[in-house]
């Protein structure tokens, strides 16, 4: 890799080019641009800048602009310093060309120019340099306002600059920053306003503060609306059905009382009848084998089987389920079997319906909140317009006051002029009287 930095200018040429050589140099730049030989172009252009030949500077800066647009990283700090130095030039066209050459760099590599421009704003004695540096920061602030927010105090200070163009550029940049950092802008401007007496500067500060307040209030309203729209839905979905004790069947074995099991699908009345019938037959078979279950319980089971009404069975009816051989028989209430039937699909529908109603109410409440926020936003916009109108009225009043002050001073000057003329007339009259007295004495 070559050790030479192609963008670094060579030693200045002491020879002054004639018009023919100047045209040849311009043609050379054009051909180099067409061939995309960027290192050679930078070497030539920065040599032109160091030679300070006014006839070639604009062409050189335009070539640099095209290179920076395609690859801003080719320009090193020494190159950038040479271009920044041209911001102090008195030639408007040359300064504009320098700004356009630096614009792609400030947008793609803001850190490389940040310190140079900061120095130009805070320490430069040239009003042109301050104005153009602020203009470049304005380009950066439009796309990346957060990059220059820490320069807000320095830019606010430029509002009191002696040069009207510097003040104007500062106001434009602060109006951009008022959209992203209204609180900081408002704070710094209020500090500044207490030190300024110039009515024009105060009017500019008032305009920026108004914009900052408007943006701050609207930003707060927008954040509230966004938060309301993105609020997490806290209404739960239909809760799962409570778990019930599993009822043992001859095929499953029995589950001890109090042991929870996963909910099974709701049994139809016919299926429950068949299940109870199977249990009764099992109990009768136990009697034949020598098993002796309670006679009263078997009678009640027979009554349930023949009653065809399983909704209200006798409360004391229990079915003795057959457990594994190592465990004693466990009595399982029939109420547990019939409990599933009591939980009909209609009850689930009611739960879903209630949940939907709650969700609708919540949505209505949120819509009302959004409407209120929209109304507040409109009210703030109206207040902002009123503030704008008041600001215009204040500006008009100040202008009227200034006009009255000017008229008063003009009248004062006229009065003094009349007094002087009157005094001159009195002096002349005195002189005439003295001359008359002198003539009288002579006679």
What's the pLDDT tens digit per position in 97-113? 999 999 998 888 888 88
Is 218 in contact with 183 (CB distance < 8 Å)? no
Helix (H, G, I), strand (E, B) or coil at 11: coil
Residue 178 has pLDDT above 60, yes or no: yes
Q: What is the mean pLDDT of residues 133-157?
A: 84
Contacts 24+ apart (CB under 8 A), 210-213: 210/384, 210/387, 210/388, 210/391, 211/175, 211/178, 211/179, 211/182, 212/178, 212/182, 212/183, 212/185, 212/186, 213/182, 213/186, 213/384, 213/387
First to last CA, the chain: 115
CA 398 to chain centre: 36
Least confident window among 39-53, 335-349, 364-378: 335-349
Residue 219 has pLDDT above 80, yes or no: no
> Which pLDDT belongs to residue 406?
85
Residue 236 has pLDDT above 70, yes or no: no
Residue 233 has pLDDT above 80, yes or no: no
Where do the domains of the chain lie? 19-229, 244-342
> Which pLDDT belongs to residue 269?
55
The architecture in CATH of the region 19-229 reads: Alpha Horseshoe (1.25)
> Which pLDDT belongs to residue 227?
65
Give percent of the chain above pLDDT 70: 66
36: left (phi over 0), alpha (psi -120 to 50) or beta: left
Residue 141 has pLDDT above 70, yes or no: yes
Helix (H, G, I), strand (E, B) or coil at 260: strand
Q: What does the alpha-carbon distance between residue 103 and residue 137 come to, in Å, rounded to a whole number? A: 9
CA 279 to chain centre: 72
Q: Which residue has the higher pLDDT, 12 or 204?
A: 204
Q: 161-198 burial by CB neighbour count: b if 16+ within 10 A, else e?
A: beeeebbbbbbebbbbbbbbbbebbbbbbeebeeeeee
> Which pLDDT belongs to residue 296?
54
Q: What does the alpha-carbon distance between residue 413 and residue 420 come to, in Å, rounded to a whole number? A: 10
Q: What is the mean pLDDT of residues 158-168?
A: 86
User: In this structure, is the dihedral angle defined by the CA atoms of residues 88, 90, 92 and 98, taken in order, positive or negative?
Assistant: negative
Which band of pLDDT confidence, cut at 50, 70 and 90, is reported for residue 342? low
Q: Which helix (H) or strand (E) holds 440?
A: helix 345-442
Fill in the DSSP letter of residue 320.
E
> Which pLDDT belongs to residue 318?
45
Residue 310 has pLDDT above 50, yes or no: no
Residue 325 has pLDDT above 70, yes or no: no
What's the pLDDT tens digit per position in 266-297? 445 566 666 666 766 666 565 555 544 445 55
Which band of pLDDT confidence, cut at 50, 70 and 90, is reported for residue 211? confident
What's the pLDDT tens digit per position in 1-23? 333 333 334 434 435 566 777 78
Q: What is the mean pLDDT of residues 80-105?
A: 89
Residue 311 has pLDDT above 60, yes or no: no
Least confident window among 89-98, 304-313, 371-380: 304-313
What's the pLDDT tens digit per position in 384-435? 888 888 888 888 888 888 888 888 888 888 888 888 888 888 888 888 888 8
Angle (nearest 5°) at CA 173 between 168 and 179: 130
Q: Which residue has the higher pLDDT, 272 or 57?
A: 57
> Which pLDDT belongs to residue 443?
61
Q: What does the alpha-carbon distance between residue 71 and residue 6 come to, in Å, rounded to a whole number? A: 14
**How large is the angle between the packed helices 199-229 and 164-177, nearest 10 degrees?**
10
């Amino acid at each position: 890799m070559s050790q030479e930095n192609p963008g670094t200018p060579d030693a200045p040429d002491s020879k002054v080019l004639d018009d023919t050589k100047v045209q040849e140099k311009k043609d050379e730049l054009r051909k180099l641009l067409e061939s995309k030989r960027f290192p050679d172009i930078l070497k030539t252009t920065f040599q032109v800048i160091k030679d300070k030949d006014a006839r070639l500077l604009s062409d050189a800066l335009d070539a640099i602009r095209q290179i920076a647009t395609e690859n801003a990283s080719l320009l090193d700090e020494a190159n950038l310093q040479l271009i920044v130095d041209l911001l102090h030039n008195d030639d408007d066209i040359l300064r504009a060309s320098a700004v356009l050459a630096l614009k792609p760099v400030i947008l793609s590599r803001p850190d490389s120019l940040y310190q140079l421009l900061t120095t130009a704003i805070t320490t430069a004695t040239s009003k042109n340099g301050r104005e153009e540096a602020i203009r470049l920061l304005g380009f950066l602030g439009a796309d990346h306002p957060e990059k220059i927010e820490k320069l807000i105090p320095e830019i606010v200070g430029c509002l009191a600059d002696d040069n009207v163009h510097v003040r104007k550029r500062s106001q434009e940049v602060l109006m951009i920053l008022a959209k992203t950092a209204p609180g900081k802008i408002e704070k710094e401007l209020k500090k500044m306003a207490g030190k300024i007496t110039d009515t024009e500067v105060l009017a500019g500060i008032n305009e920026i503060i108004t914009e900052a307040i408007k943006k701050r209030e609207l930003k707060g309203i927008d954040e509230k609306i966004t938060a309301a729209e993105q609020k997490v839905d806290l209404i739960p979905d239909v809760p799962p059905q409570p778990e019930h004790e599993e009822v043992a069947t001859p095929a499953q074995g029995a589950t001890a009382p109090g042991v929870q099991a996963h909910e099974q699908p709701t049994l139809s009345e016919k299926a429950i009848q068949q299940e109870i019938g199977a249990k009764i037959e099992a109990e009768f078979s136990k009697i034949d084998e020598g098993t002796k279950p309670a006679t009263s319980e078997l009678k009640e089971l027979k009554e349930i089987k023949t009653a065809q009404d399983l909704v209200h069975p006798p409360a004391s009816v229990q079915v003795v389920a057959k457990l594994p051989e190592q465990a004693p028989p466990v009595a399982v209430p029939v109420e547990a079997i019939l409990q599933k039937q009591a939980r009909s699909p209609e009850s689930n529908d009611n739960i879903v319906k209630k949940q939907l109603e709650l969700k609708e109410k919540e949505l209505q409440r949120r819509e009302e909140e959004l409407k209120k926020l929209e109304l507040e936003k409109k009210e703030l916009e109206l207040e902002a317009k009123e503030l704008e109108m008041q600001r215009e009225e204040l500006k008009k009043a100040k202008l009227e006051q200034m006009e009255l002050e000017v008229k008063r001073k003009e009248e004062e000057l006229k009065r003094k002029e009349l007094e002087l003329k009157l005094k001159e007339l009195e002096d002349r009259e005195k002189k005439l009287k003295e001359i008359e007295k002198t003539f009288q004495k002579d006679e």
